[in-house]
Structure 1
Amino acid sequence: MNNELDQLFESPEEWLNALPKYQRNLVSRLIENNHGDLDEATALYLNLNTSHTAPFGAGSKKSIFVDKVKKEFHNFICGHEKYSEERQKFIGEIKPLHTTVVSGVSAAIAASIGASAVYLAPIIVMLFMSMTSIGKNVWCELYSDDNEAEM
């Protein structure tokens, strides 16, 4: 990813500001109630409402949905050619802001997982927060294809 985007990975909390207030408040409470455990907060978010997901993402298969979101997020952030055009839009056409990046990533991967971009936005924010906490390169390595079973 371009150095221009590195500024986005300085503070995990900044990602929350990319969400509308109603989602920001919900995600903040989920994170706080789970002592900062972003994976648990994501799981609880999915339990709140699954009406905007494709059939494979609802019910007992929610972990498959989360795994698919993480995989597509990884592909987007860590350089998979599938998303090269979308990444270039961020790098070449705009000065990326947290809101723009969250919206763009959510929209780019929504079709691949059968969910609306609005529904995905809080999940994408929590993934960015997780990545920012440990660093983009470490996150990409942790969630690489070699470690896919752990996703």
Structure 2
Amino acid sequence: MLNFDNAEILEFINSEIPTYQRELLKKSLAGNIDSIDYYEQIGRELSGETNRDNLLLITGRTINKSSFYEKVKDEVYKFICTEVKGYKTERDFIGKNFKELVTIISTAIASTFSLGVGVIVGIITNILIAIAKVGKNAWCELQKENIKLTE
């Protein structure tokens, strides 16, 4: 399910991802790094939770400390690593190419948050790149431990 070559992923990024997110996703794809922290930082930049340019000043206190990126990642974990019934139908439609995989997962998870797919497609793409680079089993184990820590 997660065996895609870089050329296929790059083609998807260039054709389907909003222009302003492409640079970060190409950085994610080009990194031959097996540290999940590298991909986490890129995911937080894609979600707007960190600002890589440091141009904005935080002028108010944080009201809600929950991370949108973490919530999306938790849903990807449920989709990819578990047999949660909520995503059973979508899992059955998973195709053989990267575009189908991202589209199905993004659509399923976007509906969970009542969002448009465009809001999370870059984040989902980065997470799937991380899974491909780190390995599905390793990524799932790391997420399982992170979910236990936050429960």
TM-score, L = length of structure 1: 0.68
Larger Rg: 2
Cα 1:19/1:119, change in 2 over 3 Å: farther
Identity level (%): 26
Q: Distance in 2 between matches of 1:77 and 1:137?
A: 10
Contact 2:79 2:87 in 1 (8 A): yes
1:35-82 alpha-carbon deviations (Å, 9 max, x no partner)? 94322222222229xxxxxxxxxx764852111100101111113222
Please state whether the residue corresponding to 2:93 is helix, strand or coil: helix
CA contact 2:81–2:140 (8 Å) conserved in 1: yes
Compare 124-133 and 106-115 and name the one that shifted more. Answer: 106-115
Distance across 1 between alignment mates of 2:140 and 2:14:
27
- Give the C-alpha shift of residue 13 in structure 1: 6.2
Measured after TM superposition, the shift of residue 25 of structure 1 is: 5.1
Task: Give 2:107's aligned residue.
Answer: 107
User: 2:98, 2:65 → 1: CA distance?
Assistant: 26
* Structure 2 partner of 1:124: 124
Look up the match of 1:53.
none
- Runs of at least 5 residues in structure 2 that lack an aligned partner in the other structure: 32-37, 50-61
Residue 86 of structure 2 corresponds to residue 82 of structure 1: yes
- Structure having the larger proportion of residues in helix: 1
SS of residue matched to 1:9: coil
* Root-mean-square deviation over aligned CA pairs: 3.0
Equivalent position SS for 2:9: helix
CA drift at 1:14: 3.8
Residue 44 of structure 2 aligns with which residue? 43
Q: Which residues of 2 match residues 1-151 of structure 1 at below 5 A?
A: 5=1, 8-11=2-5, 14-21=8-15, 23=17, 26-31=20-25, 32=27, 36=31, 37-47=38-48, 61=64, 64-79=67-82, 80-90=84-94, 95-144=95-144, 146-148=145-147, 149=149
> Is the contact made by 1:9 and 1:136 (CA closer than 8 Å) also made in structure 2?
no
Aligned length: 128
| More moved, 11-20 vs 78-87 | 11-20
- TM-score (normalised: structure 2): 0.68
